[in-house]
């Protein structure tokens, strides 16, 4: 079987600006790009290319990459944009290095809150042919999916609430300087209903965030003696179809496919004990349930016991969302890339307050679009290995 050269994450930065008015969006991008390069011990001169992921409607710019380009080193360089999802920028960046044409790539994404209404902006994602007149925004789509899951697994709501508590507790420990989110289970479950069955406290409001990662080829890592790389062992990505009505919202088929691709490349046969940690999509707790199932970490029949399961707890054998996930900090558009960065940081020993010991291998999952339309899975590890193709 052919194998691609090894590629590693060698630097990252996750920014949660406290005061969005202090800096322009471009200045904030400049800062996060510089911070990731600094973390990698590299300068912009070392960059062979850049991939950004941004959403025009959130940014308020008809071509986000235009104004952004200069901020992240685009002048005189090769820069592309994947508006479909922030995590697609990561996938493309890694592939570009694997072609052998590039030694390094900077991957950047951001999710501003300058728009008057994030839901309104994202609602523009519905088609004008059939669905635009409906109150269908990302939250509604997530709610439809939650309903489908509750129907498929009666009584799962308790487990879902338990996940909110788990992730919020993790988030409070991981990032004590960020605003805390509600974590009292009874409060979460009985709060104001936003979109059935999601209460206001079962999700996190959109937050302003930016994230950047630096990727490098094995040859470059060796030549520049870069310390603490997180090697990409396998990547997979796939999409569901566009119309929600055409999908089985309680089953993430595209995630199964993305995981299959990633595990095949990483030569993983049994995911249940392959990872010391997982960072997965959790815009709602139901997403985390689907994610863990799709990644092969848990089976549906175990969901109801998820709350009692010690495995995914912060001190368990495979903590899920030790960073707190999107349930704690929700930079809507780039949350998936943040999950990848958080997982990479654990391998690299750069996870700060929430660093876990002896992390050899992790899995990151990102989902974007209405009701998890796009799924991306990235397996990373401390051992330098090539991904099999």
For residues 45 and 77, is the Cβ–Cβ distance under 8 A?
A: no
Compute the least distance from the CB of residue 256 to another protein, in Å.
8
User: Residue 136 or residue 161: which is nearer to another protein going by CB?
Assistant: 136
User: Residue 104 or residue 228: which is nearer to another protein going by CB?
Assistant: 104
Q: For residues 116 and 389, what is the distance between their CA atoms, to the nearest angstrom? A: 45
User: Residue 25 or residue 327: which is nearer to another protein going by CB?
Assistant: 25
Provide the β-strand partners of residue 210.
15, 110
Compute the least distance from the CB of residue 203 to another protein, in Å.
20
Compute the least distance from the CB of residue 329 to another protein, in Å.
19
Q: For residues 9 and 337, what is the distance between their CA atoms, to the nearest angstrom? A: 12
Token pair for 350: 């750069």
User: Residue 235 or residue 327: which is nearer to another protein going by CB?
Assistant: 235
Compute the least distance from the CB of residue 120 to another protein, in Å.
6
Compute the least distance from the CB of residue 218 to another protein, in Å.
14
Compute the least distance from the CB of residue 233 to another protein, in Å.
14
Compute the least distance from the CB of residue 8 to another protein, in Å.
15
User: Residue 125 or residue 324: which is nearer to another protein going by CB?
Assistant: 125
Compute the least distance from the CB of residue 31 to another protein, in Å.
9
Which is nearest to 325 in space by CA: 360, 361, 285? 285
Residue 301 CA: distances (Å) to CA of 153, 154, 298: 8, 11, 8
User: Residue 173 or residue 253: which is nearer to another protein going by CB?
Assistant: 253
User: Residue 88 or residue 166: which is nearer to another protein going by CB?
Assistant: 88
* Backbone Cα Rg of the chain: 19
Sign of CA dihedral 301, 306, 308, 313: positive
Provide the β-strand partners of residue 80.
51
Compute the least distance from the CB of residue 251 to another protein, in Å.
12
Q: For residues 371 and 367, what is the distance between their CA atoms, to the nearest angstrom? A: 8
Label the pairing between strands 361-368 and 374-381: antiparallel
Is 105 in a helix, a strand, or coil? Answer: strand
Burial of 353 (0-12, 13-18, 19+ CB in 10 A): exposed
Is 287 in a helix, a strand, or coil? Answer: helix
User: Residue 159 or residue 367: which is nearer to another protein going by CB?
Assistant: 367
> Cα(first)–Cα(last) distance of the chain, in Å?
7
Compute the least distance from the CB of residue 298 to another protein, in Å.
22
User: Residue 261 or residue 302: which is nearer to another protein going by CB?
Assistant: 261
User: Residue 78 or residue 158: which is nearer to another protein going by CB?
Assistant: 78
371: phi > 0 → left, psi -120 to 50 → alpha, else beta; which?
left
For residues 234 and 264, is the Cβ–Cβ distance under 8 A?
A: yes
Label the pairing between strands 50-53 and 79-81: parallel
321: phi > 0 → left, psi -120 to 50 → alpha, else beta; which?
left
């Amino acid at each position: 079987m052919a194998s691609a050269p090894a590629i590693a994450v060698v630097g990252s930065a996750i920014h949660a600006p406290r005061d969005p008015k202090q800096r322009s969006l471009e200045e904030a991008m400049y800062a996060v790009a510089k911070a990731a390069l600094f973390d990698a011990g590299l300068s912009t001169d070392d960059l062979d290319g850049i991939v950004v992921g941004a959403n025009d409607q959130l940014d308020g710019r008809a071509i986000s990459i235009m104004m952004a380009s200069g901020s992240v080193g685009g002048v005189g360089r090769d820069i592309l944009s994947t508006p479909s999802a922030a995590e697609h920028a990561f996938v493309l960046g890694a592939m570009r290095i694997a072609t052998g044409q590039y030694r390094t790539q900077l991957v950047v994404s951001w999710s501003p809150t300058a728009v008057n209404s994030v839901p309104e902006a994202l609602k523009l994602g519905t088609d004008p042919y059939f669905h635009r007149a409906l109150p269908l925004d990302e939250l509604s789509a997530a709610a439809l999916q939650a309903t489908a899951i509750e129907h498929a697994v009666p009584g799962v709501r308790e487990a879902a609430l338990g996940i909110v508590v788990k992730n919020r507790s993790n988030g409070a420990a991981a990032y004590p300087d960020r605003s805390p989110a509600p974590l009292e289970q009874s409060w979460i479950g009985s709060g104001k209903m936003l979109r059935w069955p999601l209460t206001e406290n079962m999700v996190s409001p959109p937050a302003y965030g930016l994230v950047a990662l630096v990727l490098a080829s094995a040859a470059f890592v060796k030549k520049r003696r870069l310390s603490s790389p997180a090697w990409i062992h396998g990547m997979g990505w796939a999409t569901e179809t566009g119309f929600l009505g055409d999908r089985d919202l309680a089953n993430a088929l595209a995630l199964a496919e993305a995981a299959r691709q990633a595990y095949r490349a990483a030569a993983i046969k049994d995911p249940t004990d392959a990872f010391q940690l997982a960072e997965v999509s959790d815009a709602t707790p139901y997403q985390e349930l689907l994610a863990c199932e799709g990644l092969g970490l848990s089976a549906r029949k175990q969901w109801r016991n998820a709350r009692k399961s010690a495995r995914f707890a912060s001190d368990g054998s495979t903590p899920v969302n030790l960073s707190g996930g999107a349930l704690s900090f929700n930079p809507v558009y780039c949350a998936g890339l943040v999950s990848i960065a958080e997982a990479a940081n654990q391998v690299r020993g750069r996870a700060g307050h929430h660093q876990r010991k002896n992390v050899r291998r992790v899995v990151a999952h990102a989902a974007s679009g209405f009701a998890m339309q796009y799924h991306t899975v990235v397996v990373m590890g401390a051992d330098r290995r090539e991904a099999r193709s």
